[in-house]
Amino acid sequence: MVVGLVRSAHGLDGEVRIEVLTDRPEDRFRVGSVLFREGRREPLTIERAEPVGNGPGWWLRFGEATDRTAAEDLRGAYLEAEVAADDRPADGVWWHQVVGARVADAGGAEIGRVVDIYRAGGAEVFIVEGPRGRIDVPAVRAVVTKFMPLDGEIVIDPAALGLDDDREQA
């Protein structure tokens, strides 16, 4: 599960500033916990962790990244934690459960399939590929009208994204 995004290096001893992408940073960023850079299996063991005092995020230092160069190499990396399946809230889903879901409009016309997800501000954004190309779909109520990724379906309002304009011009 993605729990953070490395935003910047801080100082000379490998410390990084993390954008928090979990609802339980105190648990996920505990000293001794192990995180993984997205797509990799090399562990990053947390040696120091504390909330940023003057803004959002957390300061983390990993045992495997002990200098500024190593910290800079982590910039822009999503950090993942291994979590138990029962660690998910009853009404929640993991990102990997959304990837592959069919995205359609209310009439059933296919928009495409979710191929990836990223976080922008306070919301996730689904990257959808389909007949219209690649579309970023913010996961907000004004756009997503039905969210059932475990059933393989997400319904959106194309007008909220300006997609109906394309159809009218054709």
Q: Are the beta carbons of 52 and 11 closer than 8 angstroms? A: no
Q: Is the pTM of this model over 0.75?
A: no
What confidence score (pLDDT) does residue 156 get?
94
Q: What percentage of the chain carries pLDDT values higher than 90?
A: 49
Lay out the sheet containing 153-156: strands in order across.
133-138, 123-130, 110-120, 102-104, 153-156, 144-148
For residue 138, the enclosing domain spans 95-169
Is the same domain home to 14 and 58? yes
Decide which of 62, 84, 106 is a domain's last residue: 84
Decide which of 29, 59, 84 is a domain's last residue: 84
Is 90 domain-assigned? Answer: no
Is 22 domain-assigned? Answer: yes
Tally of residues, the chain: 170
Is the same domain home to 101 and 129? yes
Q: In the chain, how many domains are there?
A: 2
The model's confidence at residue 93, banded by pLDDT at 50, 70 and 90, is: confident
Is the same domain home to 13 and 43? yes
Q: Is the confidence at residue 34, as pLDDT, over 80?
A: yes
